[in-house]
Structure 1
């Protein structure tokens, strides 16, 4: 168990290192009003290093926090940190200017988050837990080929080319589409599968494809993320080495890969903070990620957060992510509730 004085020293070291990016000396800690001598602080810092909270990059240098040190700093933050009321009002005003346009929310949230935290913002579109058929059309491409145009109630349009077992005219395709729309509009994939319908072979093929498309959409926990602020990562001294920078850039370029590990991060509720080597992905082990969910639990939702160096302004990033999440949840409630 870390002592109070040792914990106070550690938090000062973390705070100073976040601000300056330079190793922190015992004299710098003493100047923050600890009330003990630099020699005493130096001894405590040696103990913190032995316990794994600090590291010393060079023999003559001061100390820098380890991942364990950052974790203690975050866990010891007092109370529920909030953005100022002025910042909260400013953010709400900006969101009310784009009400009803979901794609604009995402771009705005990412831009605000990236600018306020000076890190990479990661935001996904709200995604329903269950998709429903709104309307479909069948367009003849060839006597044995048809284009399925599928519109889901959740504002998604999907297209797929079907290979037909038997030749079908446009008139036959249109008739099949009308029958399916009349029988299945408004139903989810599971509801369509559960219905016992008297169908022609062409209609069976189309409905199997519709259910497959819906299930594929529902199989992804999150939509592909929108990214803003990669320039902030590029400007950080921690990533001056191409060996550290390239894997990060590649990760953000492969957005489907980034989306794939969001469910691993966002287990349970609340804001998740993953620091350095706590990440399972090698490319992320020089970074911290602060992520949370937004939306209506069990119905529709997305993810919002930031990625930056482990030397991140956590006291700024955590409340910003939390507040934006609450604003977006309110807007999702208005739109889908």
Structure 2
């Protein structure tokens, strides 16, 4: 068995443990800081033994804890989706946002609400999933059709083209439907502010199933990342693996978009950083990306709330500002 298949427990286990501690600590920090700082001891009391008569406890339980759950969940989903895409395509630049899935999910939610009146929370996840799948298939078809075939460059160009086109259609839809624009204005930028727990409980079963599926196929993704010939020689059914991986990526992206709108570059930044630490074994990359993604978005959302307090920066703006330079560096380094 090759080295890439030998679980690097001496690196992976400590990394997983440290990331778990960092994620737990970041949850506490995320809850404690804000326009009105809350003492860490008060946060702990509110989480362990809440007192409904205490104002700070009510703020923690009803406002800040739900937002922390949203941030951790969305970060984990996008990071794992990015890791899977990079493993399947053997392309470190692959990510739901870069290849158009995020914009496809957003487009379907906007059009479903504007043209079909599907504004209820229950419709958001399936609409987002359908849009993400449509965008993925469209990007793949365009990249295959252009001269030179399916390459890293054609995927990136097709993803950029599809994202730009769908973004333009979203803008046109909002101009023609002012009511829908007001309803989705903050969500389309990517925000964790004022989100309802109702949508969280709607997507949670799908999200949990997709994350479990990602962990179950982690070993096969490691083999696939070695190359098509190696995977086939080892008896891997690459077609089925791509199908299931795409289904998981679409589900994770749809859940993330339903919860927070389009947040860019998390699926690009986090898996790349994790791979530098734990190597190429996806049995470690995926669980570490899950925790690292949650920690990363908790940290970014904390900054979004305090940089210009008492006002907030939309979380999607800050993820783009932080992720875009790394994306440029990755493209430059591969060139």
**Structure with max Cα Rg:** 1
User: Whose RCO is larger (CA < 8 A, sep 6+)?
Assistant: 2
Structure having the higher strand fraction is: 1
Structure having the higher helix fraction is: 2
| TM-score after normalising by structure 1 | 0.23
